[in-house]
Amino acid sequence: MTSRAVEAATRAASRRDAAVSVCFEGGSEGLMRAMFGNGVAYRPQYDGDLGEKMRRALDESFERGASAAILAGCDCPAMTAALLESALELLKTNDVVLGPARDGGYYLIGLRKRPAGELFRDMPWGSQNVRELTLAAARRLGLSTAQVQVLDDVDRPEDMGVCETAVPGEAARPDVEVSVIVPALNEAERIACALEVPLRTPGVEAIVVDGESADGTPAIAKTLGARVIASGRGRARQLNAGAAAARGDALVFLHADSVLPVGFEKHVKETLARPGVAAGAFRFKVDKPLPGMGLVERLVNFRGRRMQAPYGDQALFVRASIFREAGGFPEMPIMDDCAFVKRVRRLGRIAIAPAAVVTSARRWERLGVFRTTLVNQLVLVGYAVGVSPERLARLYGRGAGRRAAGQNP
């Protein structure tokens, strides 16, 4: 298991300009080198309980000049280089990243600042609530958190079956071509509809990034078969967290109140394969024929096609490499989709796929087609003339009234 963990860490480090250290207790450095080679550094573990050993190991990484550090256990055979890379990516926008173990602990913890002792002090190591207590400590300290994939670890002899089912090295990565990323906040009523098409499409993974829902959204998504990642609130932040964890070469960003067309993955791959195309989106359609809605649909589709300026609820999609080059979604309270499209347009054209993504009419039903469209256009104009996103978000909230539960701006 240690050999597998060292191999995964070494692969991830080689692609992320990182260094790997093995912290050991017992034996000698010579024995460690004989087992795992000379490509990593070796450090004896410090004295103290498990928390103190962990804190001091991370602290030493920061003393050596690291801007972020991950401490991973060696008892989780399914941990891969791709997962470690996802954790490193999440540390760009979060203070703490955890790799949750199914038994309530964690197999990985990452920090982007010197470790606060409270994260490791007086923890009931080996119990079922270590992860939740660590997250609670991070919240008290004002640290933002994110989590990567839940995995099984090996604690007892009866857990050894995990080793037999885990596939060594990079082969543990499923054959994923397209990742569909759904930011969600209290979307229990809609999440099943959003996930239906991606979950039954071969070569596609569905990732739900939950922003602290209180209505059971994460449990529903897990039951349906989606990967669920916990994140702080904020649509841009959630989308970036999902992209960091994604394994597909193409990323599709789907709002939780929208439904992708059957065969969407073919449109994504065909559109991105066109010369000069950096990203794409689907045609816009609402699920109810409200008065005046047909005109809104035509205007939105005209804007997307002629001006290369689609909205986020058209399910934007992009190559993972282009997403990283563009810098992801800027973390702002509103207009993050427009700002992202503007970034990507510098790298190539934005194309519109011939199929439509169908969006819930709930916003237009609640306020009326005219008022909703007017508020949206005023926000667009304000953004274009330089009004701050924070002020626009306040104006949007007042103009739209009380927004639907879970709907990100």
pLDDT at 387: 67
pLDDT at 117: 80
11 token code pair: 């692969």
pLDDT at 291: 81
Rounded Cα distance between 61 and 29, Å, is 18
pLDDT at 174: 46
**pLDDT per residue as tens digits for the range 169-218:** 443 344 678 999 999 999 988 899 899 999 989 999 999 999 989 888 99
**pLDDT per residue as tens digits for the range 292-305:** 878 888 888 888 88
- For the chain, domains (ranges, CATH) are 2-165 (3.90.550.10), 175-363 (3.90.550.10)
pLDDT at 166: 57
Output helix, strand, coil percentages for the chain, rounded to the nearest 5.
45, 20, 40
**Strand, coil or helix: what is 325?**
helix
pLDDT at 409: 37
What is the DSSP code string of 341-398?
HHHHHTTSEEEEEEEEEEE--HHHHHH-HHHHHHHHHHHHHHHHTT--HHHHHHHHHH
Mean pLDDT score of the chain, rounded to an integer? Answer: 84
| Percent of the chain scoring above 90 in pLDDT | 31
Record the pTM. Answer: 0.58
pLDDT at 403: 41
Question: Quick check: 167 pLDDT over 70?
Answer: no
Question: Quick check: 264 pLDDT over 60?
Answer: yes
Q: Are 221 and 228 in contact, with CB atoms under 8 Å apart?
A: yes
Q: Higher model confidence: residue 299 or residue 264?
A: 264
313 token code pair: 């609820």
Confidence of residue 165 (pLDDT cuts 50, 70, 90): low
Q: Higher model confidence: residue 359 or residue 394?
A: 359
Q: Higher model confidence: residue 367 or residue 126?
A: 126
CB 118: neighbour CB atoms within 10 A?
Answer: 16
Question: Quick check: 2 pLDDT over 60?
Answer: yes
Rounded Cα distance between 366 and 232, Å, is 27
- Please, what is the Cα angle at 93 between 9 and 235, to 5 degrees? 125
- Please, what is the Cα angle at 234 between 322 and 258, to 5 degrees? 70
Q: Are 389 and 349 in contact, with CB atoms under 8 Å apart?
A: no
Rounded Cα distance between 139 and 135, Å, is 6
Confidence of residue 260 (pLDDT cuts 50, 70, 90): very high
Rounded Cα distance between 264 and 381, Å, is 32
CB 250: neighbour CB atoms within 10 A?
Answer: 25
pLDDT at 350: 94
Burial class (CB in 10 A: 0-12, 13-18, 19+), 43: middle
* E strand or H helix that includes residue 272: helix 264-272
Looking at residue 159, the DSSP 8-state letter turns out to be G
pLDDT at 164: 60
Q: Higher model confidence: residue 176 or residue 95?
A: 95
Q: Are 285 and 257 in contact, with CB atoms under 8 Å apart?
A: no
Over range 59-64, report the average pLDDT.
89
pLDDT at 289: 79
Plot region of 147 (φ>0 → left; ψ -120 to 50 → alpha; else → beta)? beta
According to DSSP, the residues that pair with 228 across neighbouring strands are 208
Rounded Cα distance between 217 and 215, Å, is 6
| Percent of the chain scoring above 70 in pLDDT | 86
Over range 382-399, report the average pLDDT.
64
In this structure, of 69-73, 82-86, 326-330, the range with the lowest mean pLDDT score is 82-86
pLDDT at 118: 84
Rounded Cα distance between 382 and 392, Å, is 7
Question: Quick check: 78 pLDDT over 90?
Answer: no
Amino acid code (one letter) for 1: M
Rounded Cα distance between 252 and 264, Å, is 10
Q: Are 42 and 33 in contact, with CB atoms under 8 Å apart?
A: yes
Confidence of residue 398 (pLDDT cuts 50, 70, 90): low
Q: How many CA atoms lie within 13 A of 87 on its CB side?
A: 31
